[in-house]
Amino acid sequence: MPLANPLAPTPRRVIESSPISDTQLMRASLRRDVARHPNDFIVFATEAGALEFFAQHRASVEVETDPRMIERGVLGYSQGKTVVVVPWLTTARF
């Protein structure tokens, strides 16, 4: 079996790490929107915080019902603002 030529260029492999999900992309987009237009949103770090807000403001909130929107962090609307959950850290990195 012949040895490989050490001067020949080695083929490059493109190794794709785990693909980013649509939900992750949408949450990143939501973070950018919140940063650009903070007065358009009521932001919570956890869903529990948002649900507590809904419980305290029942008369002035409209709950989002589309599962895709909820999955992306939009839980509802209140007084012309969008109620969103934007976790500080969505994935652990080691």
Q: What is the pLDDT of residues 54-77, one digit of tens each?
A: 999 999 999 999 998 888 899 999
Asked if residue 41 is part of any domain, the answer here is yes
Q: What are phi and psi of 76, to 5 degrees?
A: 170, -160
Asked if residue 15 is part of any domain, the answer here is no
Closest CA to 32 of 79, 84, 81: 84
Q: Which helix (H) or strand (E) holds 82?
A: strand 81-85
pLDDT digits (tens, 9 = 90+) for 5-49: 556 565 565 555 555 677 778 888 899 999 999 999 999 999 999
- What domain count does the chain have? 1
Instruction: Determine the Cα–Cα distance for residues 3 and 77; give it in Å rounded to an integer.
Output: 67
Supply the range of the domain harboring residue 47. Answer: 22-85
Q: What's the token pair of residue 36? A: 């650009």
Instruction: Determine the Cα–Cα distance for residues 84 and 41; give it in Å rounded to an integer.
Output: 7
* pTM over cut 0.85: no
